[in-house]
Amino acid sequence: MERVKTLENPPPPEALTFLSRLLTGEVPTSSQEVATQFRVRFQQLTGPLMAKSVEDTLFFRQNMGLALNEVGAEPVAHHFSIERFHHEMKTRQARQPDALSGTSTHDTKRGEDARARLYTLTEAPEQWSECLARWRQMNQTHVKFLNDGTAPKSADTWMLYQALTGVWPPMLQPQDETGLNALKTRFEAFVEKALREAKLRTDWVDSNEAYETAMLDYARHLLAPDNQPFLQDFYRSLQPFIRAGLVNSLTQSIIKLTAPGVPDIYQGSEALNFSLVDPDNRREPDFVTLAQQLGQLTPGVFSREESWLNGQVNQYVTAALLRLRQQNHDLFRFGEYLPLRAVGKRADKIIAYARVNHDDVLIVVAPRLVFAECDGLLSQSHAGFWAETEIIIPGHLNQRRYRNALNQEMLTLEERLSLASHQGGVLVLMSD
């Protein structure tokens, strides 16, 4: 209501006051039943209205950052900071400790790991823009000139290349014709839906065949096996974004499984989920492969590049932390959320916090914003990168022994925890 009052042409104040009283139940006893019926009808209307207008229209029109166009999100400028995150987690623990921590569902616009990869574009916007300009030029001959404008327009290509960046399988090679054709089938379906949901030049009930054909032809050309100059350039340019995205995926999984809330893991997302909007995100996962990978898990997954690319690193972390949650229910359900401070050269590249319940303590350290470091293999040691970075351990949490839940290593924490000797700045320490 307060936001409505600030509009350029707000409704009459008396109308807003009347509506506010209906919604909050501030009405005479004789009107309570009618007011309750109104609230029910209001809620039945506003949910679908928001879904169709924002999630299923605006999110397909506003393409500056596709990762923010997500169910429950607001794709507008916000201040993102570690301090804000800590504040939100403390609030969540106080108000909604049993809230679901869902990162993918049957209805999300793209899989959680596609979003994690797309977030990295904001770490290298100039590099991304240069890539985009080059790709547009390489595929310019497939732009069509129609009566209602070019297809695709610049805004369309901005969306297409972002979407393709998010969905590209980490292990797909540009010469893999079978893999390219499988991806092309999925990508075509996404493009058609995205265009129709946007309702700008075509629609579900009034399709613009010329426009759709031109757009789909362009999308097919991007993934055509004979479009090797583009595919080779795209694949090569994508590598640092893929690697930084996989680090984001790992941190996202660790936070989901250790921060306040109840983790909800959508089918197949225990490994990697690069799905597009439905129906792509409703495909049945390869449960046989997931089971095989799960059976092969050891702490050594972090030192194998293939394990990062095929999702085994995420599977390993998910399995280990779910066991930890099972063994320490009260800590995760009732434990206080305590922000920890990073200091040193890479302090801004770390998120750290503790969960404390009586004598039980969990300390979590995970990396963020590491795109600039992702020019090599993820399986390599990055001790040098973290050499001058430490976590301040509060007095009541130090001078204690902890077990690393990810490799079972035992260590005693002093006042400062150096990250130099720990793989990739990742730690999940449980008090012994």
Out of 94-103, 105-114, 371-380, 408-417, least confident range: 371-380
Do residue 42 and residue 166 come from a single domain? Answer: no
How far is 430 from 74, CA to CA, in rounded Å?
35
Q: What is the CA radius of gyration of the chain?
A: 24
CB atoms within 10 A of CB 343: 13
Do residue 156 and residue 291 come from a single domain? Answer: yes
pTM above 0.85, yes or no: yes
Do residue 22 and residue 66 come from a single domain? Answer: no
Residues above pLDDT 70, as percent of the chain: 99
Do residue 148 and residue 43 come from a single domain? Answer: no
Domain membership flag for residue 340: no
Confidence of residue 80 (pLDDT cuts 50, 70, 90): confident
Residues above pLDDT 90, as percent of the chain: 83
The domain boundary residue, chosen from 274, 299, 333: 333
Domain membership flag for residue 425: no
The domain boundary residue, chosen from 304, 333, 362: 333
CB atoms within 10 A of CB 95: 9
pLDDT of residue 106: 95
Structure tokens at 39: 């609230």
Do residue 289 and residue 141 come from a single domain? Answer: yes
Higher pLDDT, 383 or 70: 70
Number of folded domains that form the chain: 2
Do residue 33 and residue 144 come from a single domain? Answer: no
Nearest 5°: the CA angle 97, 102, 106 is 145
Domain membership flag for residue 287: yes
Express each pLDDT in 309-335 by its tens digit.
999 999 999 999 999 999 999 999 999
Domain membership flag for residue 373: no
Higher pLDDT, 73 or 337: 337
Strand partners, 337: 355
The domain boundary residue, chosen from 333, 367, 383: 333
Do residue 39 and residue 123 come from a single domain? Answer: no
Do residue 24 and residue 108 come from a single domain? Answer: no
Which residues have CB under 8 Å from 58's CB, separation 6+?
75
Q: Containing H/E element for 210?
A: helix 209-222
Longest CA–CA span in the chain (Å) reads 74
Range of the domain at 212: 56-333
> Which ranges constitute the DSSP H helices of 51-145?
82-95, 112-119, 125-138
Q: What is the number of alpha carbons within 13 Å of residue 166 lying toward its C-beta?
A: 29
Do residue 82 and residue 32 come from a single domain? Answer: no
Confidence of residue 77 (pLDDT cuts 50, 70, 90): low
Do residue 96 and residue 32 come from a single domain? Answer: no
Q: Containing H/E element for 34?
A: helix 32-50
Q: Is the distance from CB of 199 to CB of 53 less than 8 angstroms? A: no
Domain membership flag for residue 411: no
Directed axis angle between helix 154-167 and helix 177-198, to 10°? 130
Closest C-alpha to 257, from 315, 298, 309, 170: 315
Confidence of residue 78 (pLDDT cuts 50, 70, 90): confident
Do residue 148 and residue 181 come from a single domain? Answer: yes
Structure tokens at 78: 């916000």
Do residue 75 and residue 135 come from a single domain? Answer: yes
Domain membership flag for residue 380: no
Domain membership flag for residue 80: yes
Residue with tokens 């010469």: 175
Express each pLDDT in 135-190 by its tens digit.
999 999 999 999 999 999 999 999 999 999 999 999 999 999 999 999 999 999 99
Domain membership flag for residue 21: yes
The enclosing domain of 284 has a CATH number of 3.20.20
Q: Is the distance from CB of 338 to CB of 394 less than 8 angstroms? A: yes
Pairing of strands 100-102, 262-264: parallel
Which amino acid is located at 209 in the chain?
A: E
